Chains A and B, each alone.
Chain A
Amino acid sequence: MDFDNPLQKQLPWRWQEGDLTVTRSNAWSGPGCHEGCGVLIYTDKEGKMVKVEGDPENPFNQGRLCVRCLALPEVTYHPDRLLYPQKRVGERGEDKWERVSWEEAYDTIVTKFNAYKAEFGPQSVVFNQGTGRDVTWANGRLCYGFGSPNSSDFQSGMACYLPRLSSLYATTGSFLVADCSQHFPDRYDEPSWTRPECIVIWGCNPIISNADGFLGHWIVDCMKLGSKLIVIDPRLTWLAAKADIWLQIRPGTDAAMALAWLDVIINEKLYDEDFVEMWTLGFDELAGRVAEYPVEKMAEITWVPQEKIEAAARLYATSKPAAIQWGLAIDMTKESLPAGQAITALWSITGNVDIPGGMVTVALPYGADIWGGDWGYSHLSPEAKAVRIGLDKYPLLQWGLPLAQADEIVEAMLTDDPYPIKAIWLVGSNALACMGADPEKLMKALNRMEFVVNIDLFKTPTAVACADLLLPVLTYPEKNGLRAVWYHIGNINKAIEPVGEGKSDAQLAIELGHIFNPDLVPWETVEEYFDAVLEGTEMTFEEMRDAGAVLYTDFEYKKYEKGYERGDGELGFNTPSGRIELYSTAYERSGLDPLPYFEEPTESPFSTPEMYEEYPIVLTSGARHWASFHSEHRQIHRLRAMRPDPIVEIHPETAAKYGVGEGDWIWIENHRGRVQRKVQLTTILDPRVINADHGWWYPEKEPAAPSLYGMWDVNFNKLIPWDPGRSGFGANYKSLLCKIYKVNQGEEAQSWLP
């Protein structure tokens, strides 16, 4: 093996530090998040984990770690961990379980799944997951190995990253990320890299959310190097407070904002004419469409003054390179695809594509289908592919990621239309309390199923309400595995013996996949699978482990000028026209508007003025907090202490108007339902907007129904409908209307104080 490889620094993976053994690993979750930060896991003589530290040798996080991974030992050794397989013995919701062996669990799954396959076809079993972490890649193998085309999540419009990815894939043939030097082992010292002149933080708070393989504090690194900031956010975040320009946008109007910027940039000719001419398709059509969204009009819609929008658009367009770090808010509008398309047009017409400090196109390192990829889908029979749920209604699903459409899955579960769904494999997902819209509808759908297998670290409200079989998985220090992101691959190295009988997500999926389909899943052990996936690196799992923290790929800029974007080696982009399609032929072929547009949120001051009279406050949600990853970590003492209650942020003027004060418990109500939150007064919001936490449940409360861990009083999803955008992507999770009033004394959801 070549250890002069500049893409990988040779480092030991295990060593002794005094009495403690140190194991180098990558924190691919759970617990944790998408990031997979480099970690050093310290164990004592008895093999017990005593602490975890950030790995200073890992260029991704350079030793830093957030509080969630710092709390790892408390998660792994938590008394509530699921430790062995259990089957339900009472009714669903009664929380009565009996321990079973893995043998019995596998037998039950194989017997039942095969019976449904024989009677109703493999499509009658749906393999869903929570947010994409170290479950996705092996889960795909299991689903497609079984022969079902139906793998997705239980989130209306799959409204998390997938809309942006689909929009990018359809219009650019690639994926793009803001370039903060993350492709290089020597990071900010890399000579070919330049810091962005300007970074736009659009609809996210990356220093806390750390989403999608982008470590938010890289923004801070770039600020120190002199990058200017524009922040688009309804809340004054720390980054917004430091920004050169903060646009306090009305939730759900991101597409209007992007179109307004385009209007300014096109009118003032601030775009990169050469790039537009050489590498894009449909600029004139785009300009024609943009003219329908003049900045003065968009100022009214977005609630941001026209001069500020213009100043931001000018600062962005006259800074080069400029990067846009976009977030979940783009996905969580119903018409998310045109929103993503408009933002993509911004960086495209300004020529910020694949240049240092701009937006760089990314691929799967060494072709390993871990972070993304095929996961065996291409091996499905044409008949199986044809019945993927949602494909007929949403033809765009044919291109890009092979997802089944989530809202349509739920409909099919409820109606047997287009065909019966009999069983659900649900891994790493507390859908009722976290990503799912209307939880009553989802629960009804799940409870129409004959067989639900739930796989998780902890028992959740979703498990108690709906599962028939509960399988335990391992936390990352307990398992071997692989972690890949756009930039590199690394090992997850086992540091301790599992505390129970759990298996890793990958092991579970591969063992079962092998039983169902030894052709597609030929590996008998998960280690063989790892070696196979690593083929492109010419290393085995063990060699990779011996070689260092992570293995980078050779990265080059301007790949479109070198013929590296397309499979056929031609110059340009991997689209039918070979150009970035500002006018999207893929959308057109799918019966969608080929140009970007803005549509009001379904319920808003402008689209439903009568409803706004009854529900006179704009309601947003989903902002993250340091202490938790979505609905995870609520039982982890030291993290829960940072945020013991579900919070709603309210401007003091608004609070006074409705007679509520700091620390009060209030109901937030719309025409679908109501949910409790505890008031935190703050001036970071427009008085017309309030912001509520998501993903709440109370692990310390009664698990059995109707309580379901006290979920119903605090489950924000009760306010959200299953209602996706025209493309099948996007949903209004973050832009609703509501009214607020105090909770009667004695009826507060208040639970547990650390």
Chain B
Amino acid sequence: MSEYGLLIDYKYCTGCLSCDFACNQEHGFPLGQSGIKVAQFGPWEIDTDKYEYLFVPALTELCTLCSQRVEKGKQPACVQHCQSLVMTYGRIEDLAKQMVGKPKHVLYSR
């Protein structure tokens, strides 16, 4: 297992699918397949004038954490293209520390 992972602040994920597309392009996966897919929850009303409208990205079996890009000092393709700038690549240990006290974050290992 890699020491590295992805931390995603899904509170601000807008469901734009740039991560999905960027990964698909970078790795030449067949149409529709990607190392990262985004699930949608809602919209529904939770309470008066409060809404659930959530997008949560998840890593699939295809994700290699962009090892080849990272070796060249580049960001993973999904991280670079994320329109909300909500993804961070790093050592899981560091990312876990970063996550402490932050709402609506998810940390992925591979």
Q: Which residues in A have some Cβ–Cβ distance to B below 8 Å?
A: 17-18, 51, 53-54, 56, 62-67, 70-71, 207-208, 217, 220-221, 223-224, 236, 238, 240-242, 245-246, 626, 637-638, 641-642, 682-684, 754
Our pick among A17, A64, A66 for the contact of B85 (Cβ within 8 Å) is: A64
Name the interface residues of B15-59: CB closer than 8 Å to any CB of A: 15-18, 21-22, 24-26, 31-32, 42-45, 49, 51-53, 55
B105 at the binding interface (Cβ < 8 Å): no
Interface centre among B21, B22, B55, B82 (most CB of A within 10 A): B21
Complex-state Cα separation, A754 to B32, whole angstroms = 10
Complex-state Cα separation, A220 to B25, whole angstroms = 25
Query: B83–A217 contact, CB under 8 A?
Result: yes
Our pick among B18, B21, B53, B77 for the contact of A236 (Cβ within 8 Å) is: B53
Cβ–Cβ < 8 Å partners of B49 in chain A: 245-246
Cβ–Cβ < 8 Å partners of A638 in chain B: 21, 24, 31
Cβ–Cβ < 8 Å partners of B85 in chain A: 62, 64, 217, 220-221
Interface centre among A67, A71, A682 (most CB of B within 10 A): A67
Our pick among A18, A221, A242, A642 for the contact of B17 (Cβ within 8 Å) is: A642
Cβ–Cβ < 8 Å partners of A245 in chain B: 49
Cβ–Cβ < 8 Å partners of A207 in chain B: 14, 16, 83
Query: B21–A67 contact, CB under 8 A?
Result: yes
Cβ–Cβ < 8 Å partners of B42 in chain A: 241
Complex-state Cα separation, A63 to B84, whole angstroms = 11
Complex-state Cα separation, A242 to B26, whole angstroms = 32
Closest 7 CB pairs of A and B: A241-B53, A241-B51, A70-B21, A64-B83, A217-B83, A67-B21, A63-B80
Interface size class of B (residues with CB under 8 A): 20 to 34
B97 at the binding interface (Cβ < 8 Å): no
Cβ–Cβ < 8 Å partners of A71 in chain B: 21
Question: Known contacts A64-B85, A65-B81, A70-B21; is A238 also within 8 Å of B31 by CB?
Answer: no
Query: B80–A236 contact, CB under 8 A?
Result: no
Cβ–Cβ < 8 Å partners of A65 in chain B: 18, 22, 81, 83
Q: Which residue of A lies closest to B32 (CB)?
A: A641
Cβ–Cβ < 8 Å partners of A240 in chain B: 51
Q: Which residue of A lies closest to B15 (CB)?
A: A238
Cβ–Cβ < 8 Å partners of A242 in chain B: 53
Complex-state Cα separation, A221 to B17, whole angstroms = 17
Query: A637–B31 contact, CB under 8 A?
Result: yes
Complex-state Cα separation, A246 to B52, whole angstroms = 14
Interface centre among B22, B45, B52, B83 (most CB of A within 10 A): B83
The 16 sampled A-B contact pairs (Cβ below 8 Å) are A53-B80, A63-B81, A64-B85, A66-B18, A70-B25, A207-B14, A207-B83, A217-B83, A217-B85, A220-B83, A220-B84, A240-B51, A241-B43, A242-B53, A637-B31, A683-B44
Contact with A along B50-87 (1 / 0, CB 8 A): 01110100000000000000001001010011111100
Query: A70–B81 contact, CB under 8 A?
Result: yes
Cβ–Cβ < 8 Å partners of B82 in chain A: 64
B12 at the binding interface (Cβ < 8 Å): yes
Cβ–Cβ < 8 Å partners of B72 in chain A: 17-18
Cβ–Cβ < 8 Å partners of B80 in chain A: 53-54, 56, 63-64
Query: A754–B31 contact, CB under 8 A?
Result: yes
Our pick among A18, A54, A241, A754 for the contact of B81 (Cβ within 8 Å) is: A54
Determine how close the nearest CB of chain B comes to the CB of A45; give it in whole angstroms.
Answer: 17
Cβ–Cβ < 8 Å partners of A221 in chain B: 85
Complex-state Cα separation, A638 to B53, whole angstroms = 25
Complex-state Cα separation, A224 to B55, whole angstroms = 16
Query: B43–A67 contact, CB under 8 A?
Result: no
Determine how close the nearest CB of chain A comes to the CB of B27; give it in whole angstroms.
Answer: 10
Cβ–Cβ < 8 Å partners of A62 in chain B: 85
Cβ–Cβ < 8 Å partners of B12 in chain A: 220, 223-224
Q: Which residue of B lies closest to A55 (CB)?
A: B80
Determine how close the nearest CB of chain B comes to the CB of A547; give it in whole angstroms.
Answer: 23
Cβ–Cβ < 8 Å partners of A236 in chain B: 43, 51, 53
Cβ–Cβ < 8 Å partners of A53 in chain B: 22, 77, 80-81
Cβ–Cβ < 8 Å partners of A683 in chain B: 43-45
Q: Can you add 4 more A-B contacts, CB < 8 Å, to A62-B85, A642-B17?
A: A64-B80, A67-B21, A70-B81, A236-B53
Complex-state Cα separation, A220 to B21, whole angstroms = 20
Determine how close the nearest CB of chain A comes to the CB of B42; give it in whole angstroms.
Answer: 7
Cβ–Cβ < 8 Å partners of B25 in chain A: 51, 70
Complex-state Cα separation, A210 to B85, whole angstroms = 16
Question: Known contacts A51-B25, A65-B22, A683-B43; is A626 also within 8 Å of B16 by CB?
Answer: yes
Query: B16–A66 contact, CB under 8 A?
Result: yes
Complex-state Cα separation, A246 to B45, whole angstroms = 13
Our pick among A51, A56, A224 for the contact of B26 (Cβ within 8 Å) is: A51
Cβ–Cβ < 8 Å partners of A754 in chain B: 31
Query: B84–A217 contact, CB under 8 A?
Result: yes
Q: Which residue of B lies closest to A53 (CB)?
A: B80
Cβ–Cβ < 8 Å partners of A17 in chain B: 72
Determine how close the nearest CB of chain B comes to the CB of A598; give it in whole angstroms.
Answer: 25
Complex-state Cα separation, A90 to B10, whole angstroms = 56
Query: A626–B81 contact, CB under 8 A?
Result: no
Query: A217–B14 contact, CB under 8 A?
Result: yes
Q: Which residue of B lies closest to A67 (CB)?
A: B21
Complex-state Cα separation, A54 to B76, whole angstroms = 12
Query: A626–B17 contact, CB under 8 A?
Result: yes
Cβ–Cβ < 8 Å partners of B51 in chain A: 236, 240-241
Q: Which residue of B lies closest to A207 (CB)?
A: B14
Cβ–Cβ < 8 Å partners of B43 in chain A: 236, 241, 682-684
Q: Which residue of A lies closest to B79 (CB)?
A: A63
Cβ–Cβ < 8 Å partners of B45 in chain A: 683
Complex-state Cα separation, A238 to B14, whole angstroms = 7
Cβ–Cβ < 8 Å partners of A246 in chain B: 49
Determine how close the nearest CB of chain A comes to the CB of B8; give it in whole angstroms.
Answer: 14
Query: A641–B18 contact, CB under 8 A?
Result: no
Complex-state Cα separation, A635 to B51, whole angstroms = 35
Our pick among B31, B32, B53, B83 for the contact of A66 (Cβ within 8 Å) is: B83
Query: B31–A67 contact, CB under 8 A?
Result: no
Complex-state Cα separation, A220 to B11, whole angstroms = 10
Interface centre among B18, B42, B55 (most CB of A within 10 A): B18
Cβ–Cβ < 8 Å partners of A66 in chain B: 16, 18, 83
Cβ–Cβ < 8 Å partners of B17 in chain A: 67, 626, 642
Q: Which residue of B lies closest to A18 (CB)?
A: B72
Our pick among B31, B53, B81 for the contact of A64 (Cβ within 8 Å) is: B81
Q: Which residue of A lies closest to B12 (CB)?
A: A220
Cβ–Cβ < 8 Å partners of A51 in chain B: 25-26
Determine how close the nearest CB of chain B comes to the CB of A39; give it in whole angstroms.
Answer: 11
Determine how close the nearest CB of chain B comes to the CB of A318; give it in whole angstroms.
Answer: 19
Cβ–Cβ < 8 Å partners of B52 in chain A: 241
Complex-state Cα separation, A111 to B57, whole angstroms = 58
Cβ–Cβ < 8 Å partners of B14 in chain A: 207, 217, 220, 238
Complex-state Cα separation, A658 to B1, whole angstroms = 55
Q: Which residue of A lies closest to B46 (CB)?
A: A241
Complex-state Cα separation, A217 to B15, whole angstroms = 12
Q: Which residue of A lies closest to B26 (CB)?
A: A51
Determine how close the nearest CB of chain B comes to the CB of A24; give it in whole angstroms.
Answer: 15
Determine how close the nearest CB of chain B comes to the CB of A49; give it in whole angstroms.
Answer: 11
Cβ–Cβ < 8 Å partners of B83 in chain A: 64-66, 207, 217, 220
Cβ–Cβ < 8 Å partners of A64 in chain B: 18, 80-83, 85
Complex-state Cα separation, A57 to B17, whole angstroms = 22
Q: Which residue of B lies closest to A61 (CB)?
A: B83
Determine how close the nearest CB of chain A comes to the CB of B57; give it in whole angstroms.
Answer: 14
Complex-state Cα separation, A241 to B82, whole angstroms = 20
Determine how close the nearest CB of chain B comes to the CB of A689; give it in whole angstroms.
Answer: 16
Interface centre among B25, B55, B72, B77 (most CB of A within 10 A): B25
Complex-state Cα separation, A251 to B99, whole angstroms = 42
Determine how close the nearest CB of chain B comes to the CB of A313; give it in whole angstroms.
Answer: 17
